[in-house]
Amino acid sequence: MSDSAWLLLAMTLFAGAASPGPSLALVVRSTLNGGRLAGLLVALAHGIGVWLYALTVVFGVATVLLHIQWAMLLIQLIGAAFLCYLGTMMIRGGLAAGTAEQPLEPQQTVSGTSTRYVMDGFLIVFLNPKIMIFFLAVFSQFLTQDQTLGTQITAATLAGLIDGLWYALVCVLVSFGRFGAALQRYAGPIDVFFGVILWAISLTILAGSVFAAL
């Protein structure tokens, strides 16, 4: 691909990564509750998950999966249930914390197990097949069968890097200085807000899946 095509692809991938959604809520919440390292772990796992989904498109696996309706439906239902779980945990944690004042300096070490943050970051991608559909739409405009496998894998790797770096940047901004301290003071209400958002998203997914199956 030409340099201009790579630049356009990178801009398209960034627009997809930066769009608000449950992943953003998870990164912000993990950073506020677990510290900067926790947020970075979520960002890293999220980027790896995006990279794997991009690879499924490059190797043609995504096309096969899209024709297995029961598999896609199952992933969507499990994904909606996972969002419900995360939303419930956020709401419970937020209500427990209330509006109690938090430490002025954001935490720098992980509260809780690192494995939990890694799994949350990966599963929120893996259980969202819409990401695979996004890459099918995007890569179909930039990748062709005439291109080398190396070019296609590079495009998939670029997707994972942009995604992981974007959420790492969000994590750093959330935990940085006065802005991070202000967010920490209201970590409880923020948790409740994001929890409600995740529940709304999960119910929307469930409703769409049910109507699609009828």
What secondary structure does DSSP assign to 6-47, as a single string?
HHHHHHHHHHHHHS-SHHHHHHHHHHHHH-HHHHHHHHHHHH
Q: Where are the alpha helices (DSSP H) in 98-148?
A: 114-126, 130-142
pLDDT tens, N- to C-terminus, the chain (214 residues):
888 889 999 999 999 898 878 888 899 888 888 888 999 999 999 999 999 999 988 888 777 766 777 777 787 788 788 888 888 887 887 777 654 444 434 444 454 578 889 999 999 998 887 888 888 888 888 887 788 889 999 999 999 999 999 999 999 998 886 766 666 677 678 778 878 888 887 888 778 766 766 6
pTM over 0.95: no
Structure tokens at 49: 């998950």
DSSP string, 60-92: THHHHHHT-HHHHHHHHHHHHHHHHHHHHHHHH
* Chain CA centroid to CA 143, Å: 24
**Nearest Cα to 43, choosing from 21, 28, 57?**
28
C-beta of residue 71 within 8 angstroms of C-beta of residue 61: no
Measured between alpha carbons, how far is 85 from 188 in angstroms, rounded to an integer?
A: 17
